[in-house]
Amino acid sequence: MKGVTLQVELLIVILALIASAVLTIIFKELITRYGGNLYTNIRGGTPRAVGIAPFLVLLILFPAPGNYLIALIGIFALIDDLIGRNRINGFKIEFGQISRGIGMLLVMIIGYFYFGPVAILIAIMVQPLNIADMQPGSACSTVITMSLVIAFGLLSLTSTIYYPVLILLAVCIGYAPLDYRGRIMMGEIGNHSFAVALGVTFAFLGSIIGNMTGSGIYGAFVSTLILLLLTTLLIAFIRRKNLKNILETNYQIIRPKFGDYFMDVLTGGGLGDLLRRLILKKRSITIKNRLLKFLGFRRLVYNPHSGLNNG
């Protein structure tokens, strides 16, 4: 029976790879022809939200309860893709920021019943993957690399391969070729879905470590947090050249440090800057301490709504 189960799982992984690849091509063509605002002028014309293809495959083939959380975040991410840039009347808040926030909050709440406090970290995974998706191939490289880390980590600890990690890896590989070439974009529905799926695999490895060390949920939380931070470091490294230009040009952070790249990935983007506006109002904080500069505090406290330089 065990051999039959392994054969079935292998067939499902292959199916995930093929389905992701085929659906990616189909949705690329559909969004190119009929996508409306989902077809952008970036790079001469690029269909956005093609990540609906891996979302659907993960929704169907990724095991429960992970696919419940993928469904939740995917619905609100698609809303973000469709109307996210529109602002709420009378406010400087975009519909997409509200939609993403609601989706992340629901992942934390519903996920708590299955993963405990680790669900908070699963939801936060949306942030770095969203930043990664701003550069062709970066989000794919992150998902593939971290999936392999989890797979080898579990193999070394348990001598078994965690089946959902293989599904995640297969889905990403099936989707990735056109993304690497800059022909398509995941959109929020794609990077959010991959983020939550990856977060679930982090939680599983974390639970194994927690059980093996006798630290329980505390060990699981710390292990998952370390994997989240490692993912953030990886994205900061992959996007370092692009982030340098962005921080110097858009944020007036002169000669940014790697810590600034890390903080941008962890706290940047529209949702992060919205939180800064709510917390700091129009205040500006200037960082002069060398250690704090090295750690990236210039980007952490940079308030784009202050209109002042933090270089």
Does 153 lie in the same domain as 274?
A: no
Please tell me whether residues 79 and 173 are part of one structural domain. Answer: yes
For residues 51 and 193, is the Cβ–Cβ distance under 8 A?
A: yes
Residues 196 and 281 in one domain: no
**111 or 284, higher pLDDT:** 111
In a domain, 293, yes or no: yes
Contact of 85 with 94, CB cutoff 8 Å: yes
The pLDDT tens digits of the residues spanning 228-281 come to 999 999 999 999 999 999 999 988 899 999 999 999 999 987 777 777 777 887
Q: Is 305 a domain residue?
A: no
Same domain, 16 and 147: yes
The verdict on residue 311 lying in a domain is no
Are 227 and 256 part of one and the same domain? no
1: confidence class by pLDDT, cuts 50, 70, 90 = very low
Are 28 and 184 in contact by the 8 Å Cβ rule? The answer is yes
**CA 276 to centroid of chain Cα atoms:** 20
Shared-domain flag, residues 151 and 293: no
For residue 311, pLDDT beyond 90: no
**Considering 235, 255, 283, which residue would you say is the last residue of a domain?**
235
pLDDT at residue 49 in the model:
92
Q: Which of 5-19, 76-90, 95-109, 143-157 has the lowest mean pLDDT?
A: 76-90
What total number of domains does the chain contain?
A: 2
161-214 confidence digits (pLDDT tens):
788 999 999 999 999 999 999 999 999 999 999 999 999 999 999 999 999 999
| 57 shares a domain with 9 | yes
Residues 224 and 103 in one domain: yes
Ramachandran angles phi, psi of 136, nearest 5°: -50, 130
Q: Does pLDDT of 147 surpass 80?
A: yes
Question: What confidence category does residue 93 fall into, taking pLDDT thresholds of 50, 70 and 90?
Answer: low
Dmax (CA) for the chain in angstroms is 66
- Buried residues in 162-190 as b, exposed as e (16+ CB within 10 A): bbbbbbbbbbbbbbbebbeeebbbbbbbb
Residues 231 and 248 in one domain: no
Report the pLDDT value the prediction gives residue 216, as an integer from 0 to 100.
Answer: 92
pLDDT of residue 159: 84
Q: Is residue 71 part of a domain?
A: yes
Residues 58 and 204 in one domain: yes
Q: Give Rg (Cα) of the chain.
A: 20
Is the pTM here over 0.95, yes or no?
A: no
Sequence-distant (6+) residues with CB within 8 A of 265 are 127, 128, 131, 132, 232, 235, 236, 239, 243
What range does the domain containing 65 cover? 2-235
Is residue 63 included in any domain, yes or no? yes
Rounded Cα distance, 265 and 247, in Å: 12
**92 vs 114: CA distance, rounded Å:** 35
C-beta of residue 262 within 8 angstroms of C-beta of residue 173: no
Per the prediction, the chain carries an average pLDDT of: 90
Are residues 114 and 258 part of one domain?
no
In a domain, 42, yes or no: yes
Domain membership of residue 310 (yes or no) is no
Q: Can you state the angle between helices 52-61 and 66-83, rounded to 10 degrees?
A: 160
In a domain, 309, yes or no: no
